[in-house]
Amino acid sequence: MTTKNKSAAHRHKLTAIAVALGALLFLAINVFSNNSFRALQVDLTEGSLYTLSDGTRKVLEKVDEPITARLYFSGILGEQSPPHARYYERVRELLEQYSNLTEGRFRLQVFNPEPFSDDEDSAVSYGLTGIPLNESGDLGYFGLAASNSTDDNETVAFFTPEREAFLEYDLTKLVLALASPKKTVVGVLSTLPINGGFLPGAGQRPRWSVIEQINEFFEVQPVAPDVPVIDDDVSILMVVHPKALPKKTQYAIDQFVMRGGKVLAFVDPAAEVDKPPRGQQPPGRSDLADILKTWGLELRQGRVAGDLDTARRVNVRVGAQVAIADYVGWLTLRTGNFDRDDAAMADLQMINMGTAGILDVVKDAGTQMTPLIRTGMRSMAIDAARFAGQPDVIGMFRNFKAGSEPLTLAARVTGPVKTAFPDGPPDDKDGKLKPKHLAQSKSDLQAIVIADVDMLHDQLWADVQDLLGKRMVVPFANNTDFIINALENLSGGASLNELRGRTISSRPFHLVREIRQAAERRFRAKEEELQKELDTVRGELNKLIRRENIQSGELILKPEDRAKIDNARTQMVAIRKELRGVQHELRKDIDTLDSWLKFFNIAAIPLLLGLGTLLFVLVRRLRRSGGVVETS
């Protein structure tokens, strides 16, 4: 064998070894990167769907003790319901990110609770909800049970895809509850049944959904509307619709602020939730004027904020007909109406308000008022009396006279304040309580005032559904998110501003939608024509068949009628075939795009790597062969 042949054989051998080593190295790198860089990712989705918010990261930093999360998902549920299988992958991946960011302090365990298994017994013991899957009564589970080192437990009874937009919200509040067992105390003082309880004539009533949501982040402590003193353990006082409060309670609120307490106040010139059931009386009016004045702002009395730019579209009965009109007293406020530089408004997209009031600055106030929510430019003040009884929605719209300045609906107030009771406690006739009286705030006032009470009611921000006997709240507006943002901001704790509704993972492909719409424009007319023709032939066939059934017991059907029946059936088959062809054309472009996407996702990268490797090997062989000299 010549030297040249020996060298060629040697090169072939080295090439084969190099290809084998390259393939092995490729697999090793994939395995190594999969295990070593699991926490690293590039999120190219719209809305950064797979990127954890800063608020979640701050909460995870608080995890200094082990938290064990047990994720239960029935495999049979995934087989029968692909949406649940897809959502399970989304939940599992998000929980794995939590585990990676806490370096194992948040531990994830995954279980498949098959019927009559120990895992199913475990899921039941944690209170998870199973849904029926078949006639045999087998149940499918998709829930989470988490616990910390002190055996505190938090659960998600069932992950429903309808709440996917709030998945990070739900999971992070669960972690926060286990990582920080001691919550900030929020005292809720209201003249409305917002705290629930027994009501004469109505029986036992539950707390409003907004209070349930707040309770997931804070410890809610009801405060009686006739309380003489606000307890020291209350960090934030939430005052809702203060109406006809006793002087002693107003003084308690005043002194709470003087001691450095924070306040979130909801006042309203026309609270529809406090509307008389009958008669033409206007909705209830809040009254906290004296205290608000010392804070440097006032609620414009007897006036409701109307706005053409944010008016909600509602159904209105006009005589015997139902019309759609812009209700200028009900407002859907969006990002352009918010102060985006304020932390309390972070990431909020929409807030609904109903017959909201107007906040004005008091002249020569020593405090600073910063508007958080304002109307659009085309707004006006409407007499609150116009909302008595059944409001004339169309009349308000027709007679609307827009101004040129926005109206303030919610504001932050800061700065030093003086007491609204300079003479001391109102019930302290003998002066015994005066030494404890504070005439000046110990620290700057920290308060957020919102000129609407109705925004707290379910009607304006959430759909409340019954899921397997349990109440499920599905928000359609960020009302509660704003309130939790405000409470968290006032508490001065770690930021939860970004724990709000996120984009859902099941998003439409814009290109696919455009292709489908173009195809529908081309073929929908033809489809409609064929469908009408099919309906005509089917109607004629039904007439002939009915005639055949009537005459079958009396005489033989005429040959020409039977021929018409056979012809109609043949015609129906032909039309259906043509209709399927048209429907196939509707899908053809989408299927073609789908095939290309599958190719690029599955085969394109391996093929490119393979071609690159072959090109590299060929170039090396050509370079070496150019320098080889044949010898004998």
Residue spans per domain, the chain: 1-44, 54-163, 183-460, 510-625
pLDDT of residue 494: 37
Average pLDDT over residues 561-570: 70
Instruction: Lowest mean pLDDT of 123-132, 232-241, 320-329, name the range.
Output: 320-329
List pLDDT tens digits, range 119-176: 999 999 999 999 998 877 789 999 999 999 888 889 999 998 877 877 887 888 788 8
User: Given a cut of 80, is residue 244 above it in pLDDT?
Assistant: yes
* pLDDT above 90 coverage of the chain, percent: 43
Average pLDDT over residues 355-373: 94
Q: Check residue 39 and give its pLDDT.
A: 46
The DSSP call for residue 134 is: S
Bridge partners, residue 145, by sequence: 70, 155
Amino acid at 512: V
- Per the CB < 8 A criterion, the answer to whether 433 and 425 are in contact is yes
Q: Answer whether residue 112 shows pLDDT above 70.
A: yes
239-243, 312-316, 484-488, 543-547, range with the lowest pLDDT: 543-547
Neighbours of 632 (CB within 10 A): 5
The CATH number of domain 54-163 is 3.40.30.10: yes
Higher pLDDT, 548 or 171: 171
φ and ψ at residue 298, rounded to 5 degrees: -145, 150
Mean pLDDT of the residues in the chain: 81
* Beta-strand pair 67-73/139-147: antiparallel
The confidence score (pLDDT) of residue 24 equals 72
Has residue 552 got a pLDDT over 70? no
DSSP character string of 28-57: HHHHHHHHHSTT-----STT-TTS--HHHH
Average confidence (pLDDT) over 310-316: 89
Give the tens place of pLDDT for each residue, 288-306.
999 999 999 999 999 999 9
Helix (H, G, I), strand (E, B) or coil at 135: coil
Strands 379-383 and 408-415: unpaired
Non-local CB neighbours of 454 within 8 Å, separated by 6+ positions? 268, 271, 272, 273, 353, 354, 355, 356, 460
Alpha-carbon span 215 to 209, nearest angstrom: 10
pLDDT at 91 (0 to 100): 94
pLDDT digits (tens, 9 = 90+) for 376-395: 999 999 999 999 888 888 88
CB atoms within 10 A of CB 45: 11
Fold of 183-460: Rossmann fold (3.40.50)
pTM: 0.58
H helix runs in 81-150, sequence order? 82-101, 118-125
How confident is the model at residue 196, as a pLDDT? 83
What was the pLDDT predicted at 495?
42
